Chains A and B, each alone.
Chain A
Amino acid sequence: MARAVPAWWQAGPFAAVFGLFFLLPLALTLAVSFWNFNEYELIPAFSLRNYLTVFEGCGALGDRGNLCVTLATYASTLQLCALVWACTLALGFTVAYFLAFHVRSPGMQTALFVLCTVPFWTSNVIRMISWVPLLGRNGLVNDFLMGAHLVDHPVEWLLFSRFSVVLAFVHLYTMFMIVPIFNSMMRIDRSLLEAASDAGASAWQALWNVVVPLSRTGILIGSIFVITIVMGDFVTIGVMGGQQIASVGKIIQVQTSYLQFPLAAANAVILLAVVLMIIWGLTQLVDIRREL
C-alpha cells in the first residue's frame, strides 16, 4: 500500500501564503516603523522619530483643552466603533434570536437566513452609495419630510455625516453578528428553556439568564469582527462621511499615498496594539478557547 502523504506537505502551501503575505509583512511593518525616511527613499535605521511624530503635542492638552490629532482621531474612531458595535449587536442579536427560537421549521429558518445573506454578496461600495438616493439633499427621506411639512429645509446631516457612516456600517456588517450568534443559539439545548419556564422564569428572565450567557461565544466572535472592521476602516468612512470624518485607517491611507511609509507603519503598529487590547479585554469576559 502506498504511504499517505505527510501532513505538512499538504498544509505547507497554505502555511507559506500566511508566512509570505501575513507574518512577513507584519514583521516588516514593525521594522519600518522605526526607520527614517526622506522624500525619496526609506532609510534603514533605528529611530523613534515616527512614533514621536505620531504623538506630537499629546503630552499636554492644547490651550483650549483640545486633544492632539492622534488622540482626537482615536477618540472619534473609538466612539464610532462603540456606536456601530451597540447597533449591530442589538439588531444582530434580535434577528438571530428570532430565527433561532421563533422560526420553527428548519426549512423556513434556512430560507430566512439566506434572505439575510443575499445582499452580503453585492459590492460594499454599491451598498454604500445605494443610500445616496435615500438620504441625499433631494433624497426620498427629505422629500417625505418636506412633503409631510415636518421640516422647512432639507435635512443636511442625513448624508456625509457620522449618522450615515454608522448607518452604512450597520447595513454592511450586521451579518457578522447574526451568523455567529445564530450559531451559538442553535447549540443551546431547548430543554434548558423549558426548565427555565417550568421554574417560573418569565420570558425576559429566560432570555437574560439562559440565552444571553449561552450565546456569549457568538456575541464575542461577532463583536471582534465588527470592532476590527470599524477600527481599521477607511473605505466606508471615506465614502459615507464625504471624506470629512477622520479615522485611524484614513490617516494610514493618506500617509501611504504621500509615500510616508515609516509614519504609516508606526500608525499601523499603534492601531494593531489598540485593537489587540480591545480583543484581549473582550476575551477576558469569555474564555473563547474553552467554548470553541
Chain B
Amino acid sequence: MQARVSDARAPGFWPLAIVFGLFVMFLYGPMLTIFVLSFQGPEGGLTFPLRGLSLHWFHALAAGLGTVDIAAAFRRSLLLGTVVMGFTVLLSLLAGLAFRKRLRGGDALFYVAIASLIMPSIIVSLGIGLQFRLVDTGVKAALSALGAEGTLEGYGSALGLLTSALGAHLTWTLPFGLLIMFAVFNRFDPSYEEAARDLGATPWQTFLHVVLPLIGPSVVGIGMFGFTLSWDEIARTSQAIGDVNTLPLELQGLTSTVTTPAIYALGTLTTVVSFLVMGVTAGLLAWLRKRQKRGRA
C-alpha cells in the first residue's frame, strides 16, 4: 500500500500553481503600476517611464481638479459609508436574530434580499431615482395646493445623500450582512444561551453578555463590509443621488477629463482609505479575540 499522505505533490500541482501565480500578478500588477505612477515628478504623464519622484500630484490633488470639489466628495462618501455601516450592522444583526426564531414569511424576506443582491444595479438605481422624483412631484403639488409658496420655493428635492442614496446602498449591503449572519448563527451553539437563561439572565442580558461577545468579530466584519461596499459603489448611486456626487462617481467622471497623474494620486488615496478601514477592522478583530481568550483563561 502506498502511503496516502506523501510529500510528493499531486500531478497538476505545478501547472496550477503557475496559473495561480499569474492570476495574482494579473490582480496586483495594474494596481501597483498606478500606485507607482502617482508618485511621478511634475513632468510625468499617464504612462511609464517614471519621470522623477515626488508628491507633486498629491499636492495638485489637494489644490483641486478643475471644477470638481474632491474634498467635499470625499467627505460625502465618508459620511455615507459610515451611516451605511451603522445601519448595515444594526439591521443585519436584528434580522439575523429574527431568523433564528420562527419567522412567518422569513423565506420570502430571504428571497427578496437575494433578489436585491443579484438585481442589475442600474435597475434598482433607476427605480429609486424615479421613486424620489415622483415624491418630489407629489410634494410640490401638495405645497402649491396648500398655497405654501414660500416653502415651495425653498423645496429642492427629496433625492439626496442620506435619503435615496442611503436606501440604494442598503439594498446592496444588507443582503451581504444577512448572509454573514446566517453563516455565523449556523455555527452558533445555543447551549450557551440556555446556560445563561438557566442562570436567570433576561433575554437582553443573554444577548448583551453572551451572544454579542461571541458573534462580535463577525459583527465587526459586517460593518467593514458595509463601509467598503458603500465607499466604492457607483452603479446603484448613479441615478439615485440627485445633484451631489460621491467620490467614486466623481472619479468615474474624471476618467474622461483628467489627463494627469493626479487621478492616480486620487486612486492611491482612496485605496489607502479602503486599506485603513481593513487594517482597523483586522486590529479590532484581533483585540476582540484576545479579549475572548483572556475571558476563557
Q: Report which A residues bind B (CB closer than 8 A).
A: 1-5, 7-11, 13-15, 17-18, 20-26, 28-29, 32, 41-42, 91, 94-95, 97-99, 101-102, 112, 115-116, 119, 121-134, 136, 138-140, 143, 171, 174, 194, 203, 224-225, 228-229, 231-235, 238-239, 243, 249, 252-253, 256, 261, 264-265, 268, 271-272, 275, 279
Q: Assess whether B94 is in contact with A125, with CB atoms less than 8 Å apart.
A: no
Assess A119 versus B27: contact at CB under 8 Å? Given A125-B248, A126-B267, A239-B252: yes
**Are A261 and B133 interface neighbours, CB within 8 A?**
yes
B178–chain A nearest beta-carbon distance, Å = 7
Min distance, Cβ A156 to any Cβ of chain B, angstroms:
15
Q: Main SS of the interface on chain A?
A: helix
CA distance in complex: A174, B252 (Å): 21
Closest to B93 in A: A10
User: In the complex, how many angstroms separate the beta carbon of A119 from the nearest chain B beta carbon?
Assistant: 5
- State in angstroms the CA–CA spacing of A174 and B29 once bound together: 16
Which chain A residues border B4 with CB–CB below 8 Å? 194
Instruction: Return chain B residues, CB-CB under 8 Å to A129.
Output: 34, 255, 263-264, 267
Q: Given the interface contacts A8-B98, A14-B174, A239-B255, does A232 sit within 8 Å of B120 by beta carbon?
A: yes
Indicate if the CB atoms of B278 and A25 lie closer than 8 Å: no
Task: Indicate if B295 sits at the interface (CB-CB under 8 A).
Answer: no
Given the known A-B contacts A17-B170, A18-B116, A252-B122, are A126 and B31 also in contact in the complex, defined by CB atoms under 8 Å? yes
B216 located at the interface, meaning its Cβ lies under 8 Å from any Cβ of chain A in the complex: no
Known: A14-B92, A232-B120, A275-B120. A268 touches B23 (CB 8 A): no
- Interface residue from A98, A139, A264 paired with B19 (Cβ < 8 Å): A98
Identify the closest chain B residue to A232 (Cβ): B120
Offer 25 A-B interface pairs, CB within 8 angstroms, sorted by A. Answer: A14-B91, A17-B174, A28-B130, A42-B137, A94-B16, A102-B10, A115-B24, A121-B228, A121-B275, A121-B278, A122-B232, A122-B267, A123-B251, A129-B263, A129-B264, A130-B34, A134-B30, A138-B47, A194-B4, A233-B120, A235-B234, A239-B255, A252-B122, A252-B123, A271-B123
Complex interface: chain A residues within 8 A of B11 (CB):
203
We find that the number of chain B residues with CB closer than 8 angstroms to chain A is 89
Whether A143 touches B204, Cβ cut-off 8 Å, given contacts A125-B255, A130-B31, A228-B120, is no
